[in-house]
């Protein structure tokens, strides 16, 4: 008697739409490593029905696919949107039409979301409006279920997909590829619930950390040895607008492209995983201050404590750090005092 073979697990399906944005999240995703994007999808049991950068079908094939999903003829497990929803002018959506259909893209998003088991906002534009909604937002851009920090968007704050989840907001500008592939893998394998999302429905797998965690400039931060120019090695919080002590992401624990982050590239963290990061009210590379104290203090730190600790730290700053902080390379390496054991 032979043992019964286990039933073959049904593979999930994924459709990717692009709306108001730059395509940077797709570009980042295509750079996935260990595993690459195709291997990650295969391991999760996901088949891509369409992605504008990797699918080879014609526009007619694409439109027929959308119609089949809309009509319930083609099951859809993951609807992924990259870019903000374009609702202008005056709520018509005609700023962004789906070629060959005569319908606004926002109408297609709404119809397909009602058929999807899981709806995923890929990037801060799709989640909250992002860069597309910056300034006066002439195109009336929004996220799928948020307009900045307010619930709403195209689908509404109370939207729930076929599996009972709200829109899963994988926020970032752009996203780290692992945030996307790992989240979809968990969902596809049935190991994801509302408890795995934070207050803005972002996966806590990456938002339970701060960008500050693992930052290569932390020794400078501890002694408040601050950079004065973007090319300097010191901490960029005090003068150059860095929000790494407030930003929710694991960018310095999970290196981008295997070896770096924005801070490693000498640019301050702008908190791109947060709603309304695109309108900070000041230049991205400037730290607003009141009486010399940065307005954006580290998360959960009382102002009085920060002032006291900063004063003590600066008084104790080693000469090595003070000089390296305002240099574009290490000019004073650590040294051992003669006779002292390490």
DSSP states along 272-329: TTSTTTT--SS-TT---EETTEESSPPTT--HHHHHHHHHHHHHT--HHHHHHHTSSS
pLDDT given at position 331: 93
CATH number assigned to the domain comprising residue 279 = 4.10.480.10
Average pLDDT, the chain: 92
- Tell which residue, 255, 309, 249, 247, has the closest CA to residue 280: 247
> Taking the complete model, does pTM exceed 0.75, yes or no?
yes
Phi, psi (deg, nearest 5) at residue 15: -120, 135
Cα 84 from chain centroid (whole Å):
14
Average pLDDT over residues 148-158: 96
The percent of residues above 70 in pLDDT, for the chain, comes to: 95
Phi, psi (deg, nearest 5) at residue 66: -60, -40
330 pLDDT above the threshold of 50: yes
Structure tokens at 296: 């954006």
End-to-end alpha carbon distance in the chain = 68
5 pLDDT above the threshold of 80: no
2 pLDDT above the threshold of 90: no
pLDDT given at position 1: 45
Q: Are residues 176 and 108 part of one domain?
A: yes
Question: Of 189, 207, 225, which closes a domain?
Answer: 207
340 pLDDT above the threshold of 70: no
Q: Where do we find the tokens 């981008």? A: 256
Structure tokens at 63: 């439109």
Peptide bond preceding 174: is omega within 30 degrees of 0, i.e. cis? yes
Q: Are residues 109 and 161 part of one domain?
A: yes
pLDDT given at position 305: 67
Question: Of 149, 172, 207, which closes a domain?
Answer: 207
Q: Would you say how long the chain is, in residues? A: 342
100-133: pLDDT as tens digits: 999 999 999 999 999 999 999 999 999 999 999 9
Residue span of the structural domain in which 118 resides:
12-207
Q: Are residues 134 and 29 part of one domain?
A: yes
Q: Where do we find the tokens 């709520």? A: 91
Average pLDDT over residues 35-44: 94
Question: Of 162, 186, 207, which closes a domain?
Answer: 207
Rg (CA), the chain: 23
CA atoms within 13 A on the CB side of 101: 20
DSSP code, position 7? P
> How distant, in Å, are the alpha carbons of 14, 31, 114, 149 from that of 274?
26, 23, 26, 9
DSSP code, position 297? P
Q: Are residues 158 and 223 part of one domain?
A: no
CA separation for the pair 221, 314 (Å, rounded): 10
């Amino acid at each position: 008697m032979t043992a019964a073979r286990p039933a073959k697990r049904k593979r999930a399906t994924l459709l990717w739409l692009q709306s108001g944005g730059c395509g940077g999240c797709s570009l980042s995703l295509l750079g996935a490593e260990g595993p690459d994007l195709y291997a990650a999808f295969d391991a999760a049991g996901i088949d891509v029905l369409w992605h504008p950068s990797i699918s080879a079908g014609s526009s007619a094939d694409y439109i027929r696919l959308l119609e089949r999903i809309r009509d319930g003829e083609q099951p859809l497990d993951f609807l992924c949107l990259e870019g903000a929803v374009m609702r202008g002018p005056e709520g018509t959506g005609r700023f962004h039409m789906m070629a060959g259909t005569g319908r606004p893209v926002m109408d297609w998003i709404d119809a397909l979301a009602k058929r999807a088991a899981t709806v995923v906002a890929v990037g801060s534009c799709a989640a909250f409006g992002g860069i597309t909604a910056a300034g006066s937002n002439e195109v009336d851009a929004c996220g799928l279920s948020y307009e900045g920090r307010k619930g709403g968007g195209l689908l509404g704050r109370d939207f729930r997909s076929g599996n009972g989840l709200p829109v899963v907001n994988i926020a970032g500008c752009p996203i780290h590829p692992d945030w996307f592939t790992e989240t979809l893998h968990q969902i596809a394998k049935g190991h994801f619930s509302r408890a795995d999302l934070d207050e803005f429905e972002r996966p806590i797998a990456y938002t339970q950390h701060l960008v500050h965690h693992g930052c290569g400039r932390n020794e400078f931060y501890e002694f408040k040895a601050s950079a004065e120019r973007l090319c300097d090695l010191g901490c960029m919080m005090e003068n150059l607008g860095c929000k790494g002590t407030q930003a929710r992401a694991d960018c310095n624990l999970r290196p981008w492209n295997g070896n770096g982050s924005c801070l490693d590239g000498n640019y301050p963290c702008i908190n791109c995983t947060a709603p309304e990061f695109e309108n900070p009210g000041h230049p991205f590379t400037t730290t607003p201050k009141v009486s010399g104290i940065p307005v954006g203090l580290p998360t959960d730190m009382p102002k009085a404590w920060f002032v006291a600790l900063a004063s003590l730290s600066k008084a104790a700053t080693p000469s090595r750090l003070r000089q390296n902080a305002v240099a574009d390379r290490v000019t004073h390496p650590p040294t051992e005092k003669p006779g002292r054991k390490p």
